Amino acid sequence: MNEFANRKIYITGFFVLVFAIIVGRLFYIQIVDSYYKRTADQNAMRYEYQYPARGLIFDRNGTLLVGNQTVYDIVVIPREVAAFDTTALARVLGMTEAQVHSTLNAIKAAAKKNAAYQPALFCRQVSTEAFALLQEKWFKFPGFYAQARSIRAYPRRLAGNLIGYIGEADTASITADPFYIQGSFMGKIGIERSYENALRGKRGLTIYMRDKLNRVRDRYAGGAYDTVAIPGANIVCTIDADLQEYGEQLMQNKVGSIVAVEPATGEILTLVSTPNFDPELFIDVHRAGERNALALDPLKPLFNRAVMAQYPPGSIFKCVNALVGLQEGTVSVNTTHACDGGYYFGNRRVGCHRHASPLNLIQSLQMSCNAYYCHEFRGIIDKPEFGSPQAGFAAWRRHVESFGIGQRLESDIPNELRGLLPTAASYDKMHGANRWKSATILSLAIGQGELGVTPLHMANLAATIANRGYYYTPHVAKSIQGGKIDRRFLTPHTTTISREHFAPVVEGMYLAVNGDVGSTARWTKMPDVPICGKTGTAQNPHGEDHSVFICFAPKDNPKIALAVYVENSGAGASWAAPTASLMVEKYLKKAVTRKWLEGYVMNANLLPQNTQNGAAKKQ
Amino acid sequence: MLIGIVSVYAAGFNEDNISIFDFANRSGLQILWVGVACLIAITTMTIESRFYNLFTGFFYGFMLLLMVVTLIFGKEVNGNKSWLSFGPVGIQTVEFMKLATALLLAKTMSAYGFKMANMKDFLQVFLIVLLPFGLTLLQHDTGSALVFSSFIIVFYRAGLKPWIVVSCIFLVFLFILALLVEPYGIVIIMGVTCIGIFVAMTRKYRAALILMGIITVITLALHLGLAQLDIYIDLYESLLIAHAAVIPLGIIYAFWRKIKSVLLIIGFFIISIGTTYSVDYVFDNFLQEHQRRRINDLLGIESDLRGWGYNVHQSKVAIGSGGFLGKGFLEGTQTKGNFIPEQSTDFIFCTVGEEWGFLGAALVVGLYLLLLARLLNVAERQKSLFAKLYGYGVVSIIFFHIFVNIGMTIGIMPVVGIPLPFVSYGGSSLWAFTILIFVLLNLDVSRYE
């Protein structure tokens, strides 16, 4: 066999190769790949998080809107359960004896050997009375414990849509932000979501070592890596709780929205979207059924109409067209147009209601003449200096855009819509390149056609006119504990319209409420506060017109500007105007004296007929 | 020479202590086993060396008998019926069977006139290995059974034709390939390989290209062309038919051009495809469910980290979390938490990897290599053929244990329950390895007699 002596080398070589592979593999899994280290930490360490109290939310006057409360979950450690009085436990927890048995059996079945040392949820959110009873009787129920949990509390039960709610973090958030882990809570909509980072605070962490049976052994590294929980920051919001509450009462049994802002600051005083929901639905585990019903409600209570619904502005847009015309010099305060029940061009007609004729600019706003604005709008678009209707349109669009229309206002309310402001390109697409003229797009003259604004846009328009030419981005955060509100809320946006052009428009709006016969909203005027307003009736191809009203008050140095939108309720003067007027009274006078008007609005049920039964039950 | 053994011994003993620190009785017992092992070592050394040569046949026969007895009366541990109890003491007979086989192989192969190339001689030694292999399989101890395959190293050293070794390796390769790749993929791979070999041997590029063209055209015609006529033949069958069609062409070509290698390549192709075809059958019908899963897990075909993939995954996690320097003696979070099953026996290497890190693990691996190198040296310097072959037997067994055991803890080998020499907890294996090595030392001491 000596002739094969050189095979010793091959064999040795083979051994060396195999051992090199082993060392290489060791190098890879021990040094190169960090996956195993991470898994090992998850394996052997038990991270116990201390969730800090979430920040509180106050209204502008210091009223608590959102607080915290402690509730208790009953948990059970299957291994520690001994014989106990099931009847007594069932009675305390308000369960049936059979439920106690089946729940316990299910937990035991799920918690095979390894999880038997882990607390498992037995009964969620027991009442305070039940917890008090249990406190005295723990010794009777070995293996059962109470686990405190902090949930939201809503002392005023207001503004569900605006404040929002919190829920368990979804997978996307967990992957995007390491702050969230399975089962942690986060703001889902509204203020809870937009100020999540401030409200959530900082989670505390205690690391324990554990073995494969999940038994905790001791603190990892003597607690060197543990951190302390830091409570969330409190937020004072710009909402006036009383006004908000009043707005919600006025809007009950109506579909629509009220947005009120303080013109001088852009602070949102009230933001109502109806139908709304009771925020407590989202904290009470026993009301999951009602919560699920919200999502299926045809009136979409979870949909924040104030920023997410887009409507044609209707006649309130005449204010904008008047301002643009004045700025472009195509109309003056003295320009008059006759109205013969409408505006005629070719074989088409834009109808108008009965009013005195002819009218000047101020009167046209006071009486909301459609024909006047058809003349006025065509005057802008066809202004000879522009050379073409396209150039005229571009100039008009630039002015309108400066009011924040057709773009997100970038408030701090999530999911704000940008609205709709047509572009020349979109008309080119519709009619062919440059094959359209002022008459083609005449609907824009009276706020119809390809225009869409949210109630927030409308309130902002009211604030802009109240300010005579500029606005602050509307927002709901007034101050954040230990932080600052965003700079964008402190810089004014100036429109392209010169300040002097606002005077006649304000005058027209003043007369619309306070004028004589023919003024559109004169029946809603306040005896001692000059309200300036403009009605609108947005045509709705799907049913009854929408009632719109924007206003601000007082006329000089305005304190409040607001927009009211009531869906499917007819002319602006009928519902939106009185609602707005009552809101102004409530805000400026703190009490409403016009009880007849209040009753008229509050008691009206303007919900679509087919949903009335369901809605009535909810109220 | 002793230093190597002693250091591994010491290292092994140490590691053992760590992993089973919680179970005082186990580490205590292991110390007892080590004591016994020392006695055995001394006894082994004092016995007259010729005794081993003379009584080999008797010992082998006795062990075979014991294996059968174990099979019938044995105690079942973890599904393996490989334990024989003598009152309180349990013995794993297979551990000593390896020793007996190594001895008898050495004796048979050192007999005058023995030639590996001789068919009769080859069958004889093959039978010596096959008998204990079969019995171990019957005991459901696949891991230990596979250890017997390591004697191929002894055969190779004694003159086994290299092509047999190469084909064995190739068969293992085909086995893995068959599990990993879809059938049509294998046909393509094998086809390309064969044509590649053909080109490499004859440099006839044009013929190769034409061949590939024909196969491609036929395959596409069958698979896609006939589909137009609503006759569907899947890709695998189309490829097979195409290859079958060109085989006669190849044979004609071989005779025409008088190139014998073409015939060999064709034969190789047919056998390979046949083998891979049978692999699925063997895999599905001969292997047990847990073995199939372990192989699937290893090849990354499917895994279940909480179920049957748990062992290997936890083992990799423990070792992987060790980092460069390890977590330190008794600081291993994974081993301390008992996440790894069998961590004092088969998965002992995890403790080393986790607590001593890459440095410690590499050191242990290095020591093992050193031990093997020393043993190889000892084997090579033997004057008597018997001692030399026995030495190779020892090397083969120990190498296989180390390779497979460490390999499975780091996920490059399927999980089979065989211990890590001198480190894993267990009396039988420790004693068997002790005897294995000390018999060789005994022979070595008396090599000039």
pTM of the model: 0.57
Average pLDDT over residues B198-218: 80
Q: Say whether both A447 and A569 belong to one domain.
A: yes
Do A356 and A479 fall within a single domain?
yes
Would you say residue A35 has pLDDT above 80?
no
Residues 6+ apart with CB under 8 A from B87: none
Q: Do A220 and A245 fall into the same domain?
A: no
CATH number (domain holding residue A581): 3.40.710.10
- Residue A599 domain-assigned (yes or no): yes
CA angle B172, B150, B155 (to 5 degrees): 100
Give the pLDDT score at B226: 75
The pLDDT value recorded for residue B7 is 41
Q: What is the pLDDT of residue B331?
A: 53
> Comparing B16 with A441, which gets the higher pLDDT?
A441
Lowest mean pLDDT across A504-518, B250-264, B333-347: B333-347
Residue A179: pLDDT above 80? no
pLDDT tens for residues A52-78?
888 888 988 888 888 888 878 787 777
**CB contact residues (below 8 A), chain A span 61-100, against chain B:** none
Residues in B whose CB is inside 8 Å of some CB of A read: 153, 156-159, 314, 316-324, 333-334, 336-339, 353, 357-358, 361-362, 365-366, 368-369, 372-373, 376, 380, 385, 388, 395, 399, 403, 406-407, 410-412
Both A132 and A167 in one domain: the answer is no
User: What value does the mean pLDDT take over residues B3-28?
Assistant: 45
- A10 lies in some domain: no
pLDDT for residue B6 is more than 70 = no
Among A115, A121, A197, CA closest to A483: A197
The pLDDT score that the predictor gives to residue B12 is 45
Asked, for residue A35, whether it belongs to a domain, the answer is: no
B327 pLDDT more than 70: no
- Please report, rounded to a whole number, the percentage of residues in chain B having pLDDT higher than 90: 0
User: Which pLDDT belongs to residue A563?
Assistant: 92
| pLDDT recorded at residue B90 | 66
Task: Please state the domain extents for chain B.
Answer: 2-177+289-445, 181-285
Same domain as A265, residue A197: no
For residue B229, the distance in angstroms to the closest alpha carbon of chain A comes to 48
Give the pLDDT score at A613: 46
Asked, for residue A555, whether it belongs to a domain, the answer is yes
CB contacts of B321 in chain A (<8 Å) are 36-37, 39-41
* A321 shares a domain with A198: no
Residues B361-384 have a mean pLDDT of 86
Residue B36 neighbours by CB distance under 10 Å: 14
Tell me the CA distances in angstroms from B312 to A318, B3, B342, B412, B415, one per residue in order: 75, 33, 11, 10, 7
Share of chain A above pLDDT 90, in %: 6
Domain contains A27: no
A327 with A340, same domain: the answer is: yes
In this predicted model, what pLDDT tens digit does every residue of B403-432 receive, in sequence order?
Answer: 888 888 887 777 777 888 777 766 677 788
Q: Which residues of B touch A209 (CB under 8 A)?
A: 333, 336-337
A200, pLDDT greater than 90: no
Distance CA A325, CA A306 (A): 29
CATH of the domain at A93: 3.30.1390
A485 and A465 in a common domain: yes
Output the six-digit token pair for A456.
């927030």
Number of independent structural domains in chain A: 3
Residues 6+ apart with CB under 8 A from A135: A146
| Closest residue of chain B to A11, computed from CA coordinates | B153
Please determine, for residue A305, whether its predicted confidence score (pLDDT) is greater than 90.
no
Nearest-Cα distance to chain A for B445, in Å, is: 22
Among candidate residues B377, B286, A192, A283, the one with its CA nearest the CA of residue B295: B286
Q: What is the DSSP letter of A437?
A: -
CATH value at residue A191: 3.90.1310.10
Task: Please check whether residue A109 touches B, CB under 8 A.
Answer: no
A36 occurs within a structural domain: no
In this predicted structure, the answer to whether residue A84 has a pLDDT above a threshold of 80 is no
Question: How far away is chain B from the Cα of A120, in angstroms, using its nearest Cα?
Answer: 20
pLDDT for B23 equals 41
Residues A252 and A360 occupy one common structural domain: yes
pLDDT at B178 over 80: no
Average pLDDT, chain B: 75
Share above pLDDT 70 across residues of chain B, in percent, rounded to a whole number: 74
Q: What is the mean pLDDT of residues A259-275?
A: 90
What is the tens place of the pLDDT at every residue in A142-172?
777 777 777 888 888 888 888 888 877 787 8
Predicted pLDDT of residue B80: 62
Q: Is the pLDDT of residue A609 over 70?
A: no
Mean pLDDT computed over A35-47 = 65
Report if residue A293 sits inside a domain: no
Residues contacting residue A44 through CB under 8 Å, at least 6 positions apart? A209, A210, A211, B333, B334, B336, B337, B339
* Same domain as A114, residue A260: no
Select the more confidently predicted residue: A227 or A224: A227
| Residues A605 and A592 both lie in one domain | yes
Residues A182 and A102 grouped into a single domain:
no
Q: Closest Cα to residue B428, out of B74, B149, B128, B153?
A: B74
pLDDT level of residue A618 (50, 70, 90 thresholds): very low
Express the helix, strand and coil content of chain B in percent, nearest 5 each: 75, 5, 20
Q: H helices then E strands: how many in chain B? A: 19, 3
Residue A131: domain span: 71-136+144-149
- With beta carbons under 8 A apart, name residues in chain B contacting A211: 336-339
Peptide bond preceding A263 in cis form (omega within 30 of 0): no
Q: So what's the ipTM on this one? A: 0.77
Q: What share of chain A is helix, strand, coil (3-state, %, to 5)?
A: 40, 20, 40
Which of B157, B319, B333 is nearest residue A4 as measured by Cβ atoms? Answer: B157
pLDDT exceeds cutoff 70 at A46: no
pLDDT of B89: 62
Q: Who has greater pLDDT, A264 or A99?
A: A264
Domain-located, residue A15: no
The reported pLDDT for the residue numbered A191 is 86
Give the strand pairing for A235-237 and A57-58.
parallel
